[in-house]
Homo-oligomer: A and B are copies of this chain.
């Protein structure tokens, strides 16, 4: 039951952080939503900040699972795997009501005010990037991308533009910005 409560808090916490952001999410509201007493919360997490950081970890576990699933799919050419990952992510955003990406949300809200969160979020983006870059490297090797292409730069570019499009998707409540961004990127990268 112990780990259960923790997981339950993290799961609901991710969803509430996505909608409300960090500072607008009150502990009391989270406890109300999960029917958890305060004692439990502070038994499992040492502070709100600790909770936020662990929620990011939980989010990243999902992201890495998606990457495992897509980038490891050898039945597709590497470039297609990358695109597939983002298309699945778009689908995930849709089911959540177009609230965008937790990393982008918390990164924007907290990076000016908390060095801890700033570094954490940056490290998460960088981890995703490394995996995408590896797949891009394979694409170059297979001739899907021009030999001179910089896989690290192109991976970072993709992640960054994706985040911008995700914000816009959130503002417009519409997936078009994500789709148009992917179209442009893959059309330009692999003509």
A→B interface (CB under 8 Å): 18-21, 23-24, 99-100, 104-105, 107-113, 118, 121-122, 125, 153, 156-157, 159-168, 170-172, 177, 180-181, 184, 187-188
Contacts and interface: CB of A to CB of B under 8 A. Distances in A.
A113 B25 CA distance: 10
**Nearest 7 A/B pairs, CB to CB:** A164-B164, A23-B23, A188-B188, A108-B108, A163-B164, A161-B161, A19-B112
Contact of A19 (B23, B113, B121, B157): B113
Contact of A23 (B21, B107, B160, B187): B21
B20 A113 contact: yes
Given A104-B108, A122-B171, A159-B164, 7 more contacts: A21-B108, A21-B112, A23-B109, A24-B109, A109-B109, A163-B168, A184-B188
A107 B157 contact: no
Contacts of A112: 18-21, 99, 105, 170
Copies of this chain, tallied across the complex? 2
A121 B163 contact: no
A100 B109 CA distance: 11
A111 B156 CA distance: 25
Contacts of A181: 157, 160-161
Contacts of A165: 160-161, 164
**Which of A20, A111, A125, A170 has most B Cβ within 10 Å?**
A111
A178 B109 CA distance: 19
B164 A177 contact: no
